[in-house]
Amino acid sequence: MRFDILTIFPQLLNSPLQEGIIRRAVAAGKISVNIHDIREFALDKHAMTDDRPFGGGEGMVMKPEPIAGALRSIENKNPGGRVIFLSPQGRRYTQETAERLAAQDHLVLLCGRYEGVDERIRLNYVDEEISIGDYILTGGELAAMVLIDSVTRLLPGVLGCQGSAENETFSRGLLKNQQYTRPRKFEGHEVPEILLSGDHAAIAEWRLVNAVLQTLEKRPELLTRAVFSEEELCILEKNRLLEAVRKYKNIEQ
């Protein structure tokens, strides 16, 4: 997958791209990330990329010409990219959105600043507007990195474990079960005995029950889209959780 990022602060993105899974994905040729400085496409000698809004008001607005020039340059060299504008007015970003975008070959991420971008850019150049949450950032660069991170880890061969992305939080409408590692005893607290038993079926059952309990306690609204097999429903019923799950789903739906 190819990512192109348009920003007026390219240095903000360098460090996150050189660490962890993203760095390894780049090194392995799973993704390429290309940062474009919008200022290089400004039309005046001062490389201005923002101006005061027509009609007055607070703040500055990003000018259309430099952004359009940057987008046209990318399209000319690598046509067909899906242009995404990172904006607080966009649709809320979810795991489902990440999975949908992971099926693309080329994403172009436009990072807004100040009071936003000229509306003519959004209308004529942007394919999709995305918000990573109901809060305001100083710019879209961090949101772009959130998107790149969440999409990259879904690509085949990026994560070390084949099932990691499939079995984690949000993938099936459940929070992940509690996790433990060595030592077996820490500050007086023991690891649940079942996890040390070697009984894989019993461990799988414990993990399902624990995941449902975690979800009921912390994020019960996720259960509205959870899907269980017949075997899992039997396990929930045996552990007296089926009624709680069904009740919540019925109330919400």
Q: Which domains are delineated in the chain?
A: 2-152 (3.40.1280.10), 185-252 (1.10.1270)
- Could you list the beta-strand ranges (E) of the chain: 2-7, 32-37, 50-51, 61-62, 82-92, 106-111, 128-131, 185-186, 189-190
Note the helical H segments in 116-229.
119-125, 141-152, 200-218
- What is the chain's percent helix, strand, coil content, to nearest 5? 45, 15, 40
d(CA 35, CA 39): 12
pLDDT value at position 235? 97
- Can you give the pLDDT at residue 249? 73
Phi-psi category of residue 100: left, alpha or beta, with phi > 0 → left and psi -120 to 50 → alpha? alpha
Chain centroid offset of residue 112 CA: 17
Q: Identify the DSSP state of 54.
A: T
pLDDT truncated to tens, each residue of the chain (253 aa)? 999 999 999 999 999 999 999 999 999 999 999 999 999 999 999 999 999 999 999 999 999 999 999 999 999 999 999 999 999 999 999 999 999 999 999 999 999 999 999 999 999 999 999 999 999 999 999 999 999 999 999 999 999 765 566 656 666 889 999 999 999 999 999 999 999 999 999 999 999 999 999 999 999 999 988 989 999 999 999 999 999 999 887 644 4
Q: What is the pLDDT of residue 171?
A: 66
Check residue 172 and give its pLDDT: 81
Strand partners, 34: 4
pLDDT in the model for residue 247 = 85
